[in-house]
Structure 1
């Protein structure tokens, strides 16, 4: 999707007021449609009733219903209550409720909230109507204009200012869109008293030429520290090369700055893939943890914000890769870090982040991770006494190092799984009586049994000490 932003300059103040009135009615229509959708009304009934109620044509009403439905589905997807959605912005609304804000500050905040609540208009494109019927781009001798349908055979023209004079690329692109009659959507927004237009055009990608046939590059995005780790493999999953790109700009700065650098680092990754002729494998991120209030607040909010930021970064990598004809494969990221740190970090003497990228790459090739025999043998030799010693050691660490109780809960679960195992070889990977013990459970247990004694406070960066255990089967007191 290509998005072009432009400022609209009206020929007269009267024309601007006419469009502002249209935006106000459309915004009201969208909010009204949202309430009716919550009550179970269907699209056809709403479309018939809303036209006369808000004095809008059928296309505007249809687009308002579509936007309302999209907002409703988005709230459900995020796990938020659809009944608690506040148009105009929840944060701004909550600020307006605070009693210490008054005078000019309150007035300014209220105007901003009302602009976001009432200053909207959306119009979908239509190929059969040569682009967009309600908001059409027209090229004239004195510039590029947006023709806005404000009523029955009534139109208002606004000049499109798409950028500085020395950079006319956006305006030229809009002119090409107008002349080619390709469908485009237009969204009008009111901000600081000015009306801005956002044009969206569905992008046509070239044929995919670089696939996983010759191997892939796995990408692991890390929040602490901010960096991208990548690992290159051949078609059989063998590690060829690896690297790391630091992203300090994503940990601070304003929204626009971070957005710029997300594009910048996405370009770097795609450039590496193009030069090496390899497909890209990325994590499929799902934001599931929403905090106690369901509004992404609380102790986990920082990690969640990072997830949103990196989901945006991975989305940009996908877009740029498709433009270059590079295949992008999305995989489940579950346990990639644990498997990488225990299996490949000591084996290749690489960091846990790069080893996680390597696991992601192998998963993109459809390869399964076989559990090393020496790790299976190690767990089968743990005695009841050693398990209790491990448990007491962890309890002491949690109490004296002020660690989170969730660590102890996870470790207790892992120890119970270990205690349920029988000593016979191979028994580890099969379902046990009363216990569902999967391969992932095994890696969780192994992390607790091996990594916790080495570094109880936090996960170490260096796993070279595990090489003898992994390869030669040497171990001492657990």
Structure 2
């Protein structure tokens, strides 16, 4: 299944200026490519990609060559048998009307320029660790987008994106990213950035694999339970007949007090460890059916405990665990569990 997901970027002022300059260059290359495609189509020319590529290399010598390939790809998405107005036909027609003046006209002109000049696209490649020019990386526990601006010159933008619900495919993307970083087995993803109302937004497009479930409850389960005091995960290996084979606990205290991004990253690592254990044992995973831990109520003398539990969201963690298990072909069973 092929999907496209949206996100927002946060950049330093100087990095934002570099990115906008890069967007303008590639946007111009896309428009130039489109016009060349129209002319070459009229001439019924062959080997158009090679001709266009070499011409763009001459015209846009400051643009990294891989961006040129992506510009050609983007330009080919527009129909050459129709008139395309970059920046939007509707906005262009409004700008052509004489009744618009002052701030109204300037605002419309700014919006049109953003659409016309504010695009950057980079096609993904498995051989280039997913994407050579715009690559997702972990930087000090935070998800960032590394953007190539020149020959071995990069800027880093913080990725602002939270899953909207348990079915949000951003969870799948994060699980796939972490797996690729750990195993160095990468998957291609295409990134397209847009300038809109002064902010930088992006979309990432990739294919979600649908592996066959290979590890099922027929061989037993790895049962996962969350416990509040002290806060930890209880992990029990259970045979298909219900016999307890092994048991361990993993403290979660090291996650308390971390920033949300850092905590998310550490949780992804932990989910991969648990799923890999299930694969090693050849078993399914049994989890709580996402019920909330009991936090008690005000005045019950457990204020400190509630403060700890507020920093640990069992539901979100189990959502991550289920998504990683799905990608690795491990069956997940939701059950009511008592504390181990």
What TM-score, normalized to structure 2? 0.54
Contact conserved, 1:162 with 1:168, CA < 8 A, in 2?
no
Specify the SS of the correspondent of 1:131. coil
CA-CA distance at 1:56 after TM superposition: 1.4
Contact conserved, 1:139 with 1:178, CA < 8 A, in 2?
no
The equivalent of 2:51 in structure 1 is 45
The equivalent of 2:189 in structure 1 is 184
Give distance in 1, aligned partners of 2:34 and 2:164.
Answer: 41
Number of equivalent positions: 198
Specify the SS of the correspondent of 1:48. helix
In structure 2, the CA distance between the partners of 1:173 and 1:52, relative to structure 1 (3 Å rule), is farther
CA-CA distance at 1:37 after TM superposition: 1.1
The equivalent of 1:138 in structure 2 is 137
Q: Deviations over 1:14-40 (max 9, x none)?
A: 000001000000000000111111111
In structure 2, the CA distance between the partners of 1:175 and 1:203, relative to structure 1 (3 Å rule), is closer
Give distance in 2, aligned partners of 1:14 and 1:169.
Answer: 33
CA-CA distance at 1:69 after TM superposition: 1.5
Contact conserved, 2:88 with 2:115, CA < 8 A, in 1?
yes
More helix by share: 1
Specify the SS of the correspondent of 2:76. helix
The equivalent of 1:96 in structure 2 is 95
The equivalent of 2:66 in structure 1 is 59
Specify the SS of the correspondent of 1:2. strand
In structure 2, the CA distance between the partners of 1:144 and 1:173, relative to structure 1 (3 Å rule), is farther
In structure 2, the CA distance between the partners of 1:170 and 1:202, relative to structure 1 (3 Å rule), is closer
Contact conserved, 2:163 with 2:170, CA < 8 A, in 1?
no
The equivalent of 1:202 in structure 2 is 207
What is the 5 A alignment of 1:263-412?
none
Contact conserved, 1:144 with 1:171, CA < 8 A, in 2?
no
Q: Any gaps of 5 or more consecutive residues in structure 2?
A: 181-185, 213-340
**RMSD, aligned α-carbons:** 2.3
Matched, 1:33 2:33: yes
Give distance in 1, aligned partners of 2:85 and 2:98.
Answer: 19
Give distance in 2, aligned partners of 1:139 and 1:193.
Answer: 26
Contact conserved, 2:30 with 2:75, CA < 8 A, in 1?
yes
Give distance in 1, aligned partners of 2:111 and 2:90.
Answer: 12
The equivalent of 2:8 in structure 1 is 7
The equivalent of 1:70 in structure 2 is 77
Specify the SS of the correspondent of 2:86. coil
Give distance in 1, aligned partners of 2:76 and 2:163.
Answer: 37
Q: Any gaps of 5 or more consecutive residues in structure 1?
A: 208-478
